[in-house]
Structure 1
Amino acid sequence: MRRLVSPRWTAACLLVTTIATADAAPPTQPLRAAEGVYVGGAPTDATAWDALVARGVKTVVGVEGIPPSPPSGSSEGLRLVHIPIGYGAIDKAASDRLTRVAREAQRPLYIYCHHGQHRGPAAAAIVCLAANLLDKEGALDLLRRAQTDRKYAGLWRDVAAYRAPPADAVLPELTPASPSSPLSLAMCQLDRAWEATLKSDTREDRHTAMVLVVESLKESRRAVEATGARPGLLADLQEALDQAREIEHAATGLDPEELDQRFGPQCLRCHATHRDTTD
């Protein structure tokens, strides 16, 4: 479902109103996932970060490819945690780190992804399950309230399948930035999604996989935009994204060979120009 409020709209007004009255908040705004846990879109400027501090948030967890990057002086008192996840799944490493957030991070928590609609709510659901703040049905209801799209079936699946590790389990460290670069992560997700597209047996599966190709290209573009560098790569990613969006709508009527013929050359051109120098 298309958002009525831009994800780039500053969180100053969003957070001031929704942390106090989040149960009534529409899914276009940050949601109260459970007691002391909130989920929404990425804070994008100093005003947004200052609003988090002003509302008493103690820990900010970013799950998009780009680590939390508040302007200087705008994150005083905040613990920043980066746990990037894709649209296709929440892998064990990410799930374990979200469990550690639930067990040790000071609340209130603010968990965000780019739009605050898909990955962020799924991550918040895992945190709430791990902290015994929600039961399984409550966690799935959080995805419904956030309007997490059913086409991201892996997010729904992994929330439904979550089981907390033992209390004495050794869980991964929480860090403010993932060791992998956002672009590398997005490109890995893109490779897996494209491979799944070509291996899919049904039209429905091909369309589902092609949706993930589009989202991975969007994430790759955001990662390059954040650096302000590599304009050639940015242009090629935009071209690939435009083509992928067209193919997404036609994917149900194309077999894997046709998909490869239409989109494969674009991948090869971009790889030939950029892959050897892209981290």
Structure 2
Amino acid sequence: MVRRLKGGVLLVGVVAAGSCTPERSRAVLTQAEPEAGATLSSTVAAEATQGVTEAPGLHNIVRVTDKVISGSLPEGAEGFESLRKMGVRTIISVDGAPPDVEGAKREGMRYVHLPIGYNGISKARELELARALRDLPGPIYVHCHHGRHRSPAAAAAATVALGEITPQEGERILKTAGTSPDYRGLYACVREARPVSAQELVAASGEFPEIAKTPSFVQAMVETQHAYDHLVEVRDAGWSVPPEHPDLVPLAEAGRLENLLRAMIDDPESKKYPVEFGDMMRRSQQAAQALEDALASNAPAADLSAKLKQVNTSCKDCHVAYRDTKDPS
């Protein structure tokens, strides 16, 4: 159902659908060798209790298995150099924004783009991820933006599908990475994941694109409009789940909004506008990020409303300057 956007703001973005909905010590990174006789699962469980690690240009690193690592978006050349030093050969982005394919190639690594949403992971995408983890050369680094929510969920669900860890160990990985319990869809995907057959994996897509296809610019506008509309409903309900919309997860909607805006910054359609347009988009993305962070830290309702207003204001500024007034061509 499409609802009218409150506040008169139309936002822009892309989203990957999910199916596992709720209703349905930091240290320098080192690769520990499993003890003799230890099972893979016990190794995962032991490493998960050690907490996350960091490296230059990388944050929130969690080793899922001997082959699979979860973490944040690599920050420039420093991040890719750290991955090379870690021995990483394949990078899988589950973030919505297009990855820096050339940056990875300069360090001899392959990029694969398989984005997921904050609400969960479709079965088809889970199988794609599992096949990628099985077939592509490792170590494999799976990342989203911050490395706290989507990447540990994607890595855990896919490795459960491969039969390499249990759902319980997968949930432990999410908790270690700091995945918010508000992301019920992500937890559900890991909790409900089960080992799949070789036939199912063979049937999964093996295209492994460097940059995934995204919705059209107009479709992206509609998708992000819904995310903002949901946040207005959450605000009107006192920054809690609206009674008439019990499936909404406020933090997930804020995270989705930030991801959508960030993905649009490098969209070819955005590049048709002057540099100022991109700067305005970044301000909107930063405002959405501030709102997500505030929700994650349980900020007071007044602070949350102020940050949502900042998102509204930044988008309106852009609309006044460009929407329906300037032809980008």
TM-score for both structures, normalised by structure 2: 0.62
Query: Can you give the 5+ residue segments of structure 1 that lack an aligned partner in the other structure?
Result: 1-13, 255-260
Question: Partner residue of 2:210?
Answer: 176
Question: Partner residue of 2:177?
Answer: 146
1:222 matched to 2:253: no
Q: 1:35 to 1:193 in 2, by over 3 A?
A: same
User: What is the alpha-carbon distance in structure 2 between the residues aligned to residue 148 and residue 243 of structure 1?
Assistant: 17
| Secondary structure of 2:199 counterpart | coil
Measured against aligned partners, the alpha-carbon deviations of 1:145-170 in whole angstroms (never above 9, x if no partner) come to 11110011110011112234442231
Counterpart pick for 1:74 among 95, 100, 106: 106
Counterpart pick for 1:19 among 31, 37, 48: 31
Letter in 2 for 1:180: T
Measured against aligned partners, the alpha-carbon deviations of 1:37-95 in whole angstroms (never above 9, x if no partner) come to 1111111222321232232222211111123314275231x231111112121123322
Q: 1:25 to 1:66 in 2, by over 3 A?
A: farther
Question: Partner residue of 1:57?
Answer: 88
User: What is the alpha-carbon distance in structure 2 between the residues aligned to residue 182 and residue 25 of structure 1?
Assistant: 43
Contact 2:182 2:252 in 1 (8 A): no
> Which sits farther off after the overlay, 221-230 or 38-47?
221-230
Q: 1:189 to 1:32 in 2, by over 3 A?
A: farther
Contact 2:89 2:137 in 1 (8 A): yes
Q: Which has the higher helix share?
A: 1
Measured against aligned partners, the alpha-carbon deviations of 1:226-274 in whole angstroms (never above 9, x if no partner) come to 57843333345556666788898539x99xxxxxx99989978877855
TM-score for both structures, normalised by structure 1: 0.71
How big is the shift at 1:217?
Answer: 2.8
Q: How many residues align?
A: 258
User: What is the alpha-carbon distance in structure 1 between the residues aligned to residue 310 and residue 97 of structure 2?
Assistant: 30
RMSD: 4.3
Counterpart pick for 2:250 among 210, 227, 243: 210
Query: Can you give the 5+ residue segments of structure 2 that lack an aligned partner in the other structure?
Result: 1-25, 34-45, 55-60
Q: 1:240 to 1:40 in 2, by over 3 A?
A: closer
Q: 1:151 to 1:36 in 2, by over 3 A?
A: same
Contact 1:182 1:220 in 2 (8 A): no
Letter in 2 for 1:27: V
Question: Partner residue of 1:257?
Answer: none
Contact 1:190 1:213 in 2 (8 A): no
Question: Partner residue of 1:36?
Answer: 67
Measured against aligned partners, the alpha-carbon deviations of 1:12-52 in whole angstroms (never above 9, x if no partner) come to xx997333589375336311112211111111222321232
Contact 2:97 2:263 in 1 (8 A): yes
Pairwise mapping of residues 1-279 of structure 1 onto structure 2 (< 5 A)?
Answer: 17-20=29-32, 23=47, 25-27=50-52, 29=54, 30-69=61-100, 70-71=102-103, 74-76=106-108, 78-169=109-200, 170-172=203-205, 173-180=207-214, 190-194=224-228, 204-206=240-242, 209-225=249-265, 229=275, 230-238=278-286, 250=301, 273-274=322-323
Q: 1:73 to 1:82 in 2, by over 3 A?
A: closer
User: What is the alpha-carbon distance in structure 2 between the residues aligned to residue 112 and residue 120 of structure 1?
Assistant: 5
Letter in 2 for 1:179: K
| Secondary structure of 2:153 counterpart | helix
Question: Partner residue of 1:8?
Answer: none
Contact 1:240 1:266 in 2 (8 A): no
Larger RCO (CA under 8 A, 6+ residues apart)? 2
Q: 1:86 to 1:185 in 2, by over 3 A?
A: farther
User: What is the alpha-carbon distance in structure 2 between the residues aligned to residue 120 and residue 167 of structure 1?
Assistant: 24
| Secondary structure of 1:220 counterpart | helix
| Secondary structure of 2:69 counterpart | strand
Contact 1:197 1:205 in 2 (8 A): no
Letter in 2 for 1:215: G
User: What is the alpha-carbon distance in structure 2 between the residues aligned to residue 151 and residue 198 of structure 1?
Assistant: 18
Q: 1:183 to 1:214 in 2, by over 3 A?
A: farther
